[in-house]
Amino acid sequence: MKLPPEFNAIASTENSPTSVIAKEDKFIGVQFHPEVAHTEYGKTIIDNFIHGICGCGSLWTPANFIEDTIKRLKNQIGSGKVICGLSGGVDSTVAAALVHRAVGDQLTCIFVDNGLMRLEEPERIKDTCTKYLKINLKYVDAADQFLSALENIVDPEEKRKIIGKEFIDVFEKTSLDLGQVDFLAQGTVYPDVIESQTEESGASAKIKTHHNVGGLPEKMKMQLVEPLRYLFKDEVREVGLALGLPDVMVFRQPFPGPGLAIRIIGEVTREKLDILRQVEWIIMDEVKDNNLYRELWQSFAVLTGTKSVGVVGDHRTYGYVVAVRAVTSNEAMTADWARIPYDILANISNRIANEVDGVNRIVYDITSKPPGTIEWE
Ligand code: XMP
């Protein structure tokens, strides 16, 4: 391997003679990922680089961020009207709360029930938003529209694109009632930007189209407002707490925009959604009962496209194989499968087999990210 002129290797490993290269102690290059959670001392390396080598201070605090962001939002939005898609997740909630602080009732939030959420989730989200955010909220039941559009679709990327498109469609229609709307606020966070291969992300290969980054059509005349675009989830949570949002909102486990559609392998049907909802409910129930909710980055189920033979009493059954997935992570760029105690897994498995018709086999996913992704699709 040839080094650039004036660079020397200052650290090496068995596999890489040039793990770290430097020029005059000023320009440093590393050939590994210090930013991912699973790199030992990664944080220390970045800390030394930023504070030691570059001489930067530590000015970022949630309070400073809120103050700066509100100023920037006021400048950007002026007296314009903003709509914001509220999903119930911490990202869009914190984004909406920030925009609301900046421009008050110029903001209207739209919650779209896409028919792909968990059991009774749309109602719960509506209740918490009404209680804690005190914003203008429009609730749109668009479940039929989304489910029809998803009929016969099996390809994950196609599902995402369709969901993104329907989402924008509902948005546009709903916003018509509001007259001229100038801005669309979104809870896009930095990992979405990185993984969606936009120009600024510099990502080398597209992994998945996260629909809040990829799918905005040109014809949409609204300007984007993305106050969290450069934050990671743990920072978003800190900002949420500093804004006074309650734990149920701030520490909600992430839930993907395309919802259960990407946890059902193959075609999405109402029957499969119903089965998956019951399974996810049991997992959440057990996870919360055993105080694992906050420790786990995400815990959920996947309805695999496979069926298997089972037995109940004297009868042969032929039912779905469900995969339980639970991971620990800091920012979803990397993740480790969670070492949930066997007894809890046994309970989850028994309950699913006993309580959910149509499922007769439960497996636990022991794949980390990489090589897997957190979701199966
Ligand atoms: P993956 O599966 O890519 O997931 O390891 C990383 C994190 O992103 C969530 N996820 C999505 N969120 N739209 C979203 O808003 C999507 O299309 C999407 N796909 C995955 C996933 O749940 C995890 O938190």
pTM (2 d.p.):
0.82
Model confidence band, residue 320 (pLDDT cutoffs 50, 70, 90): very high
pLDDT grade for 244, boundaries at 50, 70 and 90: very high
- pLDDT value of residue 343: 98
* Integer Rg of the chain from CA: 23
The token pair that represents 104 in the structure block: 């008050």
Band the pLDDT of 375: cuts 50, 70, 90. Answer: very high
Instruction: Write the residue with the smallest CA distance to atom 16 of ligand 1.
Output: 210
Chain CA centroid to CA 299, Å? 13
Instruction: Write the CB contacts of 167 (distance below 8 Å, at least 6 apart in sequence).
Output: 85, 112, 114, 211, 215, 257
365 CB under 6 A from ligand 1?
no
Judging by DSSP bridges, how do beta strands 107-113 and 82-85 pair with one another? parallel
307 — phi, psi (to 5°)? -115, 155
**Both structure tokens of 180:** 């001229």
pLDDT value of residue 206: 54
Ligand 1 lined by 160 (C-beta under 6 Å): yes
Asked if residue 159 has its Cβ within 6 Å of ligand 1, the reply is no
**Protein residue whose Cα sits closest to atom 22 of ligand 1:** 256
Mean pLDDT of 327-333: 89
* 212 CB near ligand 1 (under 6 Å): yes
171-222 pLDDT, tens per residue? 888 888 898 889 999 999 988 888 775 556 555 555 555 545 445 455 657 8
For residue range 345-372, what is the model confidence (pLDDT) as tens digits?
Answer: 999 999 999 999 999 999 999 999 999 9
The encoded tokens of residue 326 equal: 């639970």
**Residue 309: beta bridge partners?**
318
Atom of ligand 1 nearest to the CA of 163: 17
When pLDDT is cut at 50, 70 and 90, the band that residue 24 belongs to is confident
Percent of the chain exceeding pLDDT 90 equals 77
Distance CA 266, CA 359 (A): 16
Collapse the DSSP code of 51 into the 3-class scheme (helix H, G, I; strand E, B; otherwise coil) and give the result. helix
State mean pLDDT over 100-107. Answer: 97
Give the atom of ligand 1 at the shortest distance from the alpha carbon of 255: 22
State the pLDDT confidence band at 252, using cuts at 50, 70 and 90. very high
3-state secondary structure at position 183: strand
What does the mean pLDDT of the chain come to?
A: 92
- Cα of 183 to ligand 1 centre, how many Å? 25
Q: Is 368 in the pocket of ligand 1 (CB under 6 A)?
A: no
What is the reported pLDDT for 200?
60
Q: Is the pLDDT of residue 26 over 60?
A: yes
Q: Is the CB of 21 under 6 A from ligand 1?
A: no
What whole-number percentage of the chain has pLDDT above 70? 93
pLDDT band at 35 (very low <50, low <70, confident <90, very high): confident
For 287-301, write each residue's pLDDT tens digit.
Answer: 999 999 999 999 999
**Average confidence (pLDDT) over 232-243:** 95
C-alpha 256 – ligand 1 centre gap (Å): 5
pLDDT of residue 194: 81
Minimal-distance CA residue to ligand 1 atom 20: 256
CA 36 to chain centre: 17
Query: What does the pLDDT average to over 130-155?
Result: 96
Q: Whose CA is nearest to atom 6 of ligand 1?
A: 332
Residue 214 has a pLDDT of: 45
Strands (DSSP E) contained in 89-203 are 107-113, 136-141, 183-185
Pocket test for ligand 1, best of 38, 163, 210 (most atoms within 8 A of CB): 210
